[in-house]
Amino acid sequence: MKRRPLCMPVVWTILTVFLTAALGDLPAFGEEQLKLAPTTTDPNESLKLLPRELDTLKLEERQEIVSAIRSRKDNYCDDMLNTVEQGVFDRQGLAKLLAVKRECPSAVSLTETIKYVNTQLMCATDDPYNRVLSPKEAKALRERFAGTYKSFEEGGLGLEFHIDPANRLPDKPSQDLAVTGKITAPLAVAISPCTGKPVELTEKEKNEQAVLAKKAQMRFAFGDGRIHHVIAYGPAAKAGLRDGDVVMLVNDSDVSGLEHQYVLKERLRGPLLSKVKLRVKRGVEEFDVVITRGEVIGDNVWSRSLGKHVYAIVISDMAREGTAKQVLDEIEKIKRSDPLARFVYDVRGNPGGQFNEAILLSAFLIHDGVIVSRLERVPGDPSNPQYKRTTWTRAGRHVVVEVKDEATGNVLGTFNFKMLITSKDPLTGEIGSTQTEDIPFVGDQPSVILFDGGTYSAGEIVAAALGENYKGAKADESKDNKDKRQGAYSIGAPHSGGKFIGQIVLPGPLDTSIRLTLFQYYSPNGEWLGNGHNYKVGLKPTLVIEQPELAVPYTVSDAQLNAAVGFLLSTE
C-alpha cells in the first residue's frame, strides 16, 4: 500500500526514489544499500547493522560484504546531510548548515553517525523535529502510521481504566533520593550540545520541567477497576467486556489497593496467548471471564453517548490513513439513530498525524471557508531555496486547492482535493478504490471542539478549522439558520501545543529514516501560531477552561467536557 508522508501530500520531483518508499518497507539490501552502509573497526558490530535479508547468508559471505563496505569511499553521513540540505524548510537554519564544515566521522558505528548528523541539524535549525531516526525509531513510526504494533513476547487485553484522584498514593521518591538521600531541584540551566556551555532556562521551561517531575512522581491505586474504554477488536472486546464494567478480581486476587501502573503491567499484561481470569461486575450482576492475552491495536477514533442527545467523538491520533472517514462513519451512524444528536469532538492529547486526514476531517464539518494554508519549501538547490504557498478552501461540495509562488504571488495551479473511497465487491469480496471530488458535509448540528496543550499538528489544524469557521450553534440562533451551521465552538486549555510546522519522513540508509520540517501551516485567519521552533504559542479557544490538576477524562472531574456538554444543552 502506498504511504503518505507525514502531514505532506506534495510530490517531490528530485527525490522521487525517496517518496516511493516513504514510511513503507525499505528496499532489499543491494548495491545501492551497500554504498550507504557503515564502516566500523569491529566486524561483529558491522554485521549487527546489516538488514535482516543477510541473516540467511553464511558468516564468511557476510564478512565479505563488510569488507566491501569498508573499501568504499562513499559515506552515509554525507548522504544523510545531502538529503537534509535539499529539503529542510528553515532558510536561516539551512544557511547555518551549509556554513559548517563537514567533519563526518568515519569508521564508527551507525549510532555515532546518527548522533553527529542530529547534532548538526539541531545546532543549525534549532528544530527538534529535524532528525535522523534510528532503525528502531523508524520502525516504530511506520507501525504508528500503519496502526499496528506487534510484540512476539507480551500480550494485552485492550482495556483502559479510570484513575480516581481520590485513590492517590504517596508520591514515589525521585531516583536520586535513593542514591544521595536528597531530592534534586528542577534544573535551572541546561548544557548546550552545540557549544558545550550552560544555557539558562526560561521561567516557562522551568515550570514545565517542574510539572513533569511532579507528574512522574504521582501514584494512584487501581481502585474499583472501572473500565473507561474497551478497545475495539481487542481480546477484552471479543470476550464481551463493555465500557463501565468493573474489574473486581484478577486471577482471584483483590488488586484494588495496588498501584495502577503495577496492575496494568504485572497483572493484566503477560506472555502472548497466556490467559487471565477476571471477576467482572456489571450493574448488580457479577461473573467470571477468562481472556487470552493478545495483540492490541489501539483505537484512534471512538464515540460515547453523554446523554440528552449529546455524543463525544474522541480522535486520539490522526496518523492512520482513513481516520477522517472513521469519524464520518461515526457521525452518520449516530445521526441515523438520533436525528437530534449534538457532538463534542475531542482532540485533547492528539499528537497529530497525516496532513490529508486533517484536511478531509475539517472538510466534513465545514461547508464554506478556508481550512488551512501552508508555506513550504520546494526541494532543490540548497544555495537557492524556493518556496510556495498552498491554500485549501471548502467551497460548496468541493475543497479547492490553490498554489502560489511565494516570491512573485503568481498562481501556479488550482485543482480540487480528492477523497479516496474504498468499497468491497459483494460477489468477489475484492477491495477496490475510487477517487471523488464530491466531499460530504455533516457539520450542520451544534458542536464543540475540545483541545488542550497536548494537541499538536493535524489535531491543531482540525481545531483551528472548526473553531475559526464556527457559525450558528448558539442558543439564540433561529431554526431558519440551521443550513448556515458549520464548524464547532472551541473550548479547552489556554492554548494548544503550538507546533504549526509539518514534516516529511524519508527513508535513509540501513533502515533509518530522515524526518525534516518542510513547511509552516497557518490557521484559517492566516495566523502562524508557532513561536520559532519552540512551538509554544498555539491556538486559543473561544472559552478557556483550566482542568483540575487530577482531573480524569470523562468523569465528573473533567471540567472541559462538562463545559462542552453545558454549552450544547443550551443550544436549540
Least confident of 225-229, 449-453, 553-557: 553-557
Packing angle, helices 457-468 and 355-365, rounded to 10: 20
Which residues partner with 516 through β-bridges? 504
Sheet containing 447-451: which strands, arranged edge to edge? 301-307, 310-315, 342-346, 447-451, 489-492, 543-544
How much of the chain exceeds pLDDT 90, in percent?
31
pLDDT at 523 over 70: yes
Mean of pLDDT values over 278-302: 89
pLDDT at 416 over 70: yes
- The pLDDT value given to residue 339: 93
Confidence of residue 166 (pLDDT cuts 50, 70, 90): confident
Best-predicted range by mean pLDDT (4-8, 54-58, 108-112, 513-517)? 513-517
Mean of pLDDT values over 530-541: 70
Q: Strand, coil or helix: what is 169?
A: strand
Query: For the chain, what is the mean pLDDT?
Result: 77
pLDDT at 80 over 60: yes
- The pLDDT value given to residue 163: 74
Inside any domain, residue 17: no
Inside any domain, residue 159: yes
- The pLDDT value given to residue 394: 95
Same-domain pairing of 372 and 243:
no
Same-domain pairing of 227 and 373:
no
Pick from 230, 260, 292: which residue ends a domain?
Answer: 292
Confidence of residue 122 (pLDDT cuts 50, 70, 90): confident
Per-residue three-class SS string for 297-343: CCCCEEEEEEECCEEEEEECCECCCCHHHHHHHHHHHHHHHCCCCEE
Report the C-alpha gap between 94 and 96 in whole angstroms: 5
Q: Which residue type is seen at 264?
A: L
Same-domain pairing of 421 and 337:
yes
Mean of pLDDT values over 177-201: 57
pLDDT at 477 over 50: no
Report the C-alpha gap between 487 and 8 in whole angstroms: 24
Same-domain pairing of 244 and 359:
no
Inside any domain, residue 176: yes
Report the C-alpha gap between 298 and 231 in whole angstroms: 6
Query: What domain count does the chain have?
Result: 4
Same-domain pairing of 361 and 472:
yes
Confidence of residue 255 (pLDDT cuts 50, 70, 90): confident
Cβ atoms of 372 and 464 closer than 8 Å: yes
- The pLDDT value given to residue 347: 95
Residues in the chain: 572
Parent domain of 433: 301-497+542-569
- The pLDDT value given to residue 504: 84
Least confident of 67-71, 540-544, 548-552: 67-71
Mean of pLDDT values over 88-111: 79
Same-domain pairing of 288 and 331:
no
Mean of pLDDT values over 470-484: 56
Report the C-alpha gap between 354 and 36 in whole angstroms: 29
Pick from 292, 323, 353: which residue ends a domain?
Answer: 292
- The pLDDT value given to residue 63: 54
Report the C-alpha gap between 534 and 282 in whole angstroms: 47
Inside any domain, residue 453: yes
Same-domain pairing of 201 and 226:
no
Pick from 231, 266, 292: which residue ends a domain?
Answer: 292
pTM of this prediction?
A: 0.74
- The pLDDT value given to residue 123: 84
Inside any domain, residue 308: yes
Same-domain pairing of 211 and 225:
no
Confidence of residue 91 (pLDDT cuts 50, 70, 90): confident
Same-domain pairing of 379 and 362:
yes
How much of the chain exceeds pLDDT 70, in percent?
73
Inside any domain, residue 537: no
> Which residues lie closer than 8 Å to 228 by C-beta, 6 or more apart?
160, 161, 162, 243, 553, 554
Cβ atoms of 231 and 237 closer than 8 Å: yes
- The pLDDT value given to residue 205: 66
Of 389, 332, 401, the closest CA to residue 360 belongs to 401
Mean of pLDDT values over 341-355: 92
Inside any domain, residue 3: no
- The pLDDT value given to residue 42: 42
- The pLDDT value given to residue 78: 80
pLDDT at 50 over 60: no
- The pLDDT value given to residue 217: 72
- The pLDDT value given to residue 562: 95
Tell me, what CATH number does 417's domain have? 3.90.226
pLDDT at 66 over 60: no
Cβ atoms of 479 and 496 closer than 8 Å: no
Tell me, what CATH number does 244's domain have? 2.30.42.10
pLDDT at 479 over 70: no
Same-domain pairing of 245 and 388:
no
- The pLDDT value given to residue 18: 28
Packing angle, helices 323-337 and 355-365, rounded to 10: 20
Least confident of 49-63, 385-399, 474-488: 49-63
Inside any domain, residue 18: no
* pLDDT, tens digit, 9 for 90 and up, residues 125-145: 888 888 899 888 888 887 777
Report the C-alpha gap between 125 and 119 in whole angstroms: 10
Same-domain pairing of 319 and 261:
no
The residue with greater pLDDT, 328 or 40, is 328
Give the angle 213-111-117 at the CA atoms, nearest 5°.
85
Q: How far is CA 319 from the centre of its chain?
A: 6
Same-domain pairing of 86 and 197:
no
